Structure 1
Amino acid sequence: MHIPARKHRLTLLALVLSGTVGCDQVTKQLAVSGLRGEPGTSFLGGLFRLDYYENPGAFLSLFGGLSRPAQFWLLTAGVGVFLLGMLVYLVANRRLSLFHSGALALLVGGGLSNWIDRVVNDGRVVDFMILGIGRVRTGVFNVADVAIMLGVGLALLAAHRERTQDDSGGGAQA
């Protein structure tokens, strides 16, 4: 396994984190200013829809029915501690490949941006995108959610690649 230089990893982390948080926050501000109070808009024959929502829960409104104090402790305080731990792990773990570091940075960046929403938006996260065909639809999501899901998928792929390379005797890795 190729272990990247610390400065390359930290540069990648800074770029992915700032890019993820920046893109998500900009699109959320556009959603607030252009979609709040307006009827939803469909594109591509209904495949893609923009509609404004504020989600007090997590993924697919999970934990949205909890009391406000429970939501705070779980989704704001708990997630904040988890994200801080992940960030420390990313910065301190010098054995992570660039690919694995980038994947985890996407996850942390998306989580951080949604966490920022919770802190400044009274515990709610702005969601505004929906995908679907006919009656089959996703839940409402945002750019941070896409980054989180992409980060999870890429982290699983990175772990699989690293395990496969370790089993086969090694080799260079991105």
Structure 2
Amino acid sequence: MKIKALLIFLVCLPLIGCDRYTKQQAVFLLKGQEPVSFLNGFFTLTYHENTGAMLSLGAYLPENVRFIIFTLLVGLVLVGGLIYLLVKPMNKYNFTLGLLILSGGFGNLYDRAFNNGRVVDFMLLQAGSLKTGVFNVADIAIMVGLFGFIFISSKWGKQLTNQSN
């Protein structure tokens, strides 16, 4: 349990703090401003508030339905996920990847709870006609956790985790 507490301290707190700080800076520096592009338009800082889930899924639902789904239900799932991580025996890789996902989820949940149901997004990647949706640090943590789970479930990931155990 000590290693889990240490990992929570080393993963969750810095990630949630970084997410909060970058969102505050985005509000202060980007809100109401024109987007700022870098690397020939590959990386852009632009201010958006998302009332839906990823890629604004559900953004047009009635406000009370969005609150129930994106604040209450997501909050319950995140708390349940944290309890699961704390109770279930698992290796440090799975635990850390789970923490990445939960940290991102709690970061966005905080935003929804204290920003009238909206999440601040401010980064965009674009290569030619391909581009991402606008995202934030919490979204990066979630995606790294998900891709990490996919990797450690592969034969290469299983070899890596077996060698280090």
Same fold (TM over 0.5): yes
Partner of 1:122: 116
Q: Which letter does structure 1 place at the counterpart of 2:19?
A: D
Which residue matches 1:147? 141
Matches within 5 A, 1:48-127: 48-93=43-88, 95-127=89-121
Q: Structure 2 unaligned runs (5+)?
A: none
Does structure 2 conserve the Cα–Cα contact (< 8 Å) formed by 1:13 and 1:101?
A: no
- Percent identity reads 41
Aligned to 2:38: 43
One-letter identity of the residue aligned with 1:26: Y
Residue identity opposite 2:130 in structure 1: V
C-alpha separation in 1, matches of 2:162 and 2:31: 51
8 Å CA contact 1:110, 1:147 repeated in 2: yes
The one of 4, 16, 34 aligned to 2:11? 16
2-structure distance, mates of 1:161, 1:144? 28
Aligned to 1:126, what secondary structure does the other structure show? strand
Listed one character per residue, the Cα deviations across residues 12-70 of structure 1 (whole Å, up to 9, x for unaligned) are: 12221111101111100110000000000000000000000000001000111110011
Shift of 1:155: 2.0
Deviation string, structure 1 residues 89-123 (Cα, Å, up to 9, x no partner): 11111x21111111000000000000000000000
**Contact 2:151–2:157, Cα closer than 8 Å, also in 1:** no
SS of the residue 1:132 aligns to: strand
RMSD of Structure 2 on Structure 1 (CA): 1.9
Task: Give TM-score, length-normalised by structure 2.
Answer: 0.93
Shift of 1:150: 0.3
Q: How many residues align?
A: 164
Ranges in structure 1 where 5+ consecutive residues have no aligned partner: 1-5
When the two structures are superposed, what TM-score results if normalisation uses the length of structure 1?
A: 0.88
